[in-house]
């Protein structure tokens, strides 16, 4: 399903695989989140050398998020990178997921970002959030330790459903928060313009961006998303807890390491980057956590 492994060449190969194998792979990827897929990819020899170092090599102008354009943390001060240098190396400030400040000391992210490549809750003693760092190769902005995390207890790792977690920071950040859509609010009509931001893969081949990027993707109907993800090896769309966005022809999407980051509708936090089959493939929209479905639970978890 998601991630670098299924993107690029893998994305197309995926459909040719047997259902059982696909299901296992999908589960593994789901369990793995970003990290596992990257490690798996590196292990398979698809990407030479350390995956996270790929972006630090000179490769011309930076690209980010598939089909998008550069963005900056001055305009979007509430987006943060989740970082663990011990796990992911320091080239890109240890970035592996993203998150959004919903209160000065609370970050909303994806639950799957809290799991390791073996599908176990990750123990990252150096987990931090990085705020105000458009370019992860610099030391701009601030790094704040994560004091504790709350993973939605109904998160389903195998299905990657109800995918949200709240991090509590060791110190508050006074840089501004992003308002969430209201509980039960229906902001997800088909073709509603939405924007996703992140430092993730720009091609689906492990080209992680150093610079924050954004891309506009229209919300897709539940019917379209159900057709794309009918269940089994292809992943299963659950309209109660998920929402999809993307172009029918593909070309614009979030991708690996964008996970946990925000999908904005009308300047509010309406989705969390969660999963997808490959990245930016035709008729395979990105799948996001439906924030309105969990807004009340999220507020409660964040003490708001």
Q: Active-site residue numbers?
A: 112, 163, 259
Torsions phi, psi for 58 (to 5 deg): -65, 120
Report the nearest approach of ligand ARG to the CB of residue 283 (Å).
12
Query: Does 253 sit near ligand ARG (CB under 6 A)?
Result: yes
Cβ proximity to ligand ARG: between 109 and 292 the closer is 109
Query: Does 87 sit near ligand ARG (CB under 6 A)?
Result: no
**Any bridge partners for residue 197, and if so which?**
214
Query: Does 279 sit near ligand ARG (CB under 6 A)?
Result: yes
Strand order from edge to edge, sheet including 262-265: 69-70, 213-218, 193-198, 262-265, 268-275, 286-290, 242-245
* Tokens describing residue 302: 């964040």
Q: Binding string to ligand ARG for residues 199 to 238, with x set by CB under 6 A, is what?
A: -x--------------------------------------
How large is the greatest C-alpha to C-alpha distance in the chain, in angstroms? 50
Query: Does 263 sit near ligand ARG (CB under 6 A)?
Result: no
* Tokens describing residue 224: 């379209």
Could you tell me the CA-to-CA distances from 42 to 62, 148, 164, 170, 296 in Å, in that order?
22, 30, 27, 33, 40
Binding-site member from 136, 164, 258, 295 for ligand ARG (CB under 6 A)? 258
Q: Binding string to ligand ARG for residues 183 to 202, with x set by CB under 6 A, is what?
A: -----------------x--
Query: Does 255 sit near ligand ARG (CB under 6 A)?
Result: yes
Query: Does 275 sit near ligand ARG (CB under 6 A)?
Result: yes
* Tokens describing residue 129: 């959030």
Query: Does 51 sit near ligand ARG (CB under 6 A)?
Result: no
With CB under 6 A, what is the number of residues at the site for ligand ARG?
17
* Tokens describing residue 81: 């990178």
Report the nearest approach of ligand ARG to the CB of residue 99 (Å).
12
Report the nearest approach of ligand ARG to the CB of residue 204 (Å).
8
**Any bridge partners for residue 195, and if so which?**
216, 264
Query: Does 3 sit near ligand ARG (CB under 6 A)?
Result: yes
- Residue of 246, 206, 264 lying closest to 63 (CA atoms): 206
Can you tell me whether residue 275 is helix, strand or coil? strand
Closest residue to bound ligand ARG by CB = 276
CA 33 to chain centre: 9
End-to-end CA distance of the chain: 33
Cβ proximity to ligand ARG: between 32 and 171 the closer is 32
Q: What is the DSSP letter of 249?
A: T
Q: What is the DSSP letter of 132?
A: S
The residues in 17-46 that bind ligand ARG, with binding defined as CB under 6 A, are 33-34
Cβ proximity to ligand ARG: between 158 and 170 the closer is 158
| Residues binding ligand ARG (CB under 6 A) | 2-3, 33-34, 200, 253-259, 273, 275-276, 279, 286
């Amino acid at each position: 399903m998601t991630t670098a492994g299924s993107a690029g060449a893998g994305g197309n190969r995926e459909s040719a695989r047997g259902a059982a194998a696909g299901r296992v792979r999908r589960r593994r990827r789901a369990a793995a989140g970003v990290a596992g897929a990257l490690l798996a990819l590196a292990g398979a020899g698809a990407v030479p050398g350390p995956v996270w170092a790929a972006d630090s090599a000179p490769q011309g102008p930076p690209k980010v998020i598939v089909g998008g354009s550069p963005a900056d943390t001055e305009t979007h001060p509430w987006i943060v990178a989740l970082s663990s240098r011990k796990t992911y190396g320091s080239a890109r400030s240890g970035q592996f997921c993203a998150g959004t400040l919903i209160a000065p000391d609370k970050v909303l992210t994806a639950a799957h970002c809290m799991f390791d490549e073996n599908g176990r809750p990750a123990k990252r003693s150096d987990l931090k959030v990085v705020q105000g760092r458009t370019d992860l190769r610099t030391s701009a902005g601030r790094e704040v330790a994560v004091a504790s995390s709350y993973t939605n207890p109904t998160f389903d790792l195998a299905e990657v459903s109800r995918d949200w977690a709240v991090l509590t920071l060791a110190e508050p950040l006074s840089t501004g928060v992003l308002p969430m859509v209201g509980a039960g609010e229906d902001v997800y009509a088909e073709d509603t313009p939405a924007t996703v931001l992140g430092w993730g893969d720009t091609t689906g081949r492990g080209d992680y961006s150093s610079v924050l990027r954004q891309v506009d993707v229209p919300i897709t109907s539940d019917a379209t998303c159900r057709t794309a993800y009918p269940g089994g090896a292809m992943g299963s769309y659950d309209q109660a807890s998920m929402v999809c966005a993307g172009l029918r022809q593909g070309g614009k999407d979030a991708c690996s390491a964008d996970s946990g980051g925000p999908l904005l509708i009308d300047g509010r936090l309406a989705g969390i980057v969660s999963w997808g089959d490959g990245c930016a493939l035709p008729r395979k929209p990105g799948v996001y956590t439906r924030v309105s479905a969990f807004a009340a639970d999220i507020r409660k978890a964040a003490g708001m």
